[in-house]
């Protein structure tokens, strides 16, 4: 059994509490937040949750085993570091920190203290994302040409980070997970419409060592809620639509087939020697069990602590995402990637 202290209970915090409180291996939960109204609401909904301790008291407490950090992104490093120095296991919401240097420091501390450091890349625990990974790894899609991702909505507009730091960690973590590699080149272009210096529209382009490419579109300014990713392979194409209720994954047996004219074997590539022919086959909507990803994430964190396992989304995984964001931010800051 473990005792959890959660720092922050704003937008995402209540969702974490809802899942942690249902776990049999969680003995007690303590929550701190500067919003007394929110704490009173939490206490009313869950009378077993304790809200009387401050943030510092939770971190320093000898009877709390693990700290869950659901604070604004700019505060992640400070409080994750304090928690690790206090010999606590840590689950920190994405992104792990705001710089790769900070992320490396947290990884070093976790290793030094022999504590679990896990990042809340929730979509890695999504059954549909895992299913897509199975198709990729099995070679069903062939060589992956490119991935196109859209994460769009009208609001919630943030003032502490731009749309890229707010939304793109999800897409970057998924793409890294699917491809099993990290980008060799990162480019980004963003625009600030609502708040000067805080981009609410960002396009990222990622090139990978294998030759695959990815394009990510994130914004707070779109009339439709969209969470869609398209994987284009040499054999088949896959669409992952997180908003869909009955067809989260669709596999299209479509593509462009290249064949030699008259079966001539020619060592020198000549475009005229080849036929490029459209192929249109069946559409498959696979069936699979779908559980709440956050529930799986919270359970995984507790299991990793009790069984001393390395989390699927550990500190190194968080660092890989932060490095992409950091390089993309450099493009945004100088308005060029040349």
Mean pLDDT of the chain: 93
Give, in degrees to the nearest 5, the angle at Cα 300 between 10 and 175.
80
Q: b/e per residue, 69-84, with b = 16+ CB within 10 A? A: bbbebebbbebbbbbb
Q: How many helices (H) and strands (E) does the chain have?
A: 9, 13
CATH superfamily of 125-260+326-334: Dihydrodipicolinate Reductase; domain 2 (3.30.360.10)
Residue 232 in tokens? 């284009």
Q: What is the mean pLDDT of residues 144-172?
A: 96
pTM beyond cutoff 0.85 = yes
Confidence of residue 260 (pLDDT cuts 50, 70, 90): low
Q: At what angle do helices 293-307 and 13-20 cross, to 10 degrees?
A: 60
pLDDT in tens, 27-60: 999 999 999 999 999 989 998 999 989 999 999 9
Q: What percent of the chain has pLDDT over 70?
A: 94
DSSP code for 69: E
Q: What percent of the chain has pLDDT over 90?
A: 86
What is the full DSSP assignment across 88-157? Answer: -EEEEESSS-SSHHHHHHHHHHHHHHT--EEEE-GGGG-HHHHHHHHHHHTTTT-SEEEEEEEEEEE-PP
Q: At what angle do helices 76-85 and 100-113 cross, to 10 degrees?
A: 20
pLDDT in tens, 206-245: 999 999 999 999 999 999 999 999 999 999 999 999 999 8
CATH superfamily of 2-123+293-312: NAD(P)-binding Rossmann-like Domain (3.40.50.720)
Q: What is the mean pLDDT of residues 185-193?
A: 97
What pLDDT does residue 77 have? 98
Confidence of residue 338 (pLDDT cuts 50, 70, 90): very low
Task: Parse the chain into domains and list their residue ranges.
Answer: 2-123+293-312, 125-260+326-334
Burial environment of residue 293 by CB neighbours within 10 A (0 to 12, 13 to 18, 19 or more): buried
Question: Using CA atoms, how far apart are residues 199 and 190, in angstroms rounded to an integer?
Answer: 6
């Amino acid at each position: 059994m473990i005792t959890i202290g959660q720092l922050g209970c704003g937008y995402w915090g209540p969702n974490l509490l809802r899942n942690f409180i249902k776990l049999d291996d969680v003995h007690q939960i303590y929550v701190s937040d500067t919003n007394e109204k929110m704490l009173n609401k939490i206490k009313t909904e869950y009378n077993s949750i304790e809200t009387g301790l401050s943030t510092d008291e939770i971190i320093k407490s000898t009877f709390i085993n693990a700290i869950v950090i659901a604070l604004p992104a700019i505060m992640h490093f400070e409080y994750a570091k304090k928690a690790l120095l206090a010999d606590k296991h840590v689950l920190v919401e994405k992104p792990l920190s705001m710089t790769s240097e900070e992320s490396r420091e947290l990884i070093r501390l976790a290793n030094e203290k022999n504590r679990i450091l896990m990042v809340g890349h929730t979509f890695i625990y999504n059954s549909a994302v895992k299913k897509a990974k199975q198709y990729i790894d099995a070679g069903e899609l062939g060589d992956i040409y490119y991935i196109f991702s859209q994460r769009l909505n009208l609001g919630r507009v943030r003032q502490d980070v731009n749309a890229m730091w707010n939304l793109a960690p999800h897409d970057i973590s998924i793409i890294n997970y699917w491809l099993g590699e990290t980008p060799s080149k990162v480019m980004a272009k963003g625009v600030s419409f609502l708040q000067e210096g805080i981009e609410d529209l960002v396009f990222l382009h990622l090139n990978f060592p294998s030759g695959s490419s990815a394009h990510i579109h994130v914004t707070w300014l779109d009339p439709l809620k969209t969470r869609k990713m398209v994987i284009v392979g040499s054999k088949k194409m896959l669409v992952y639509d997180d908003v869909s209720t009955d067809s989260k994954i669709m596999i299209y047996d479509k593509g462009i087939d290249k064949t030699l004219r008259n079966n001539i074997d020619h060592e020198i590539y000549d475009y005229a020697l080849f036929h490029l022919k459209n192929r249109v086959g069946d559409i498959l909507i696979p069936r699979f069990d779908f559980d709440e990803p956050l529930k799986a994430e919270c359970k995984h964190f507790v299991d990793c602590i009790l069984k001393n396992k390395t989390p699927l989304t550990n500190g190194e995984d968080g660092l890989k995402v932060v490095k992409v964001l950091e390089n993309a931010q450099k493009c945004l800051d100088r308005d060029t990637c040349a």
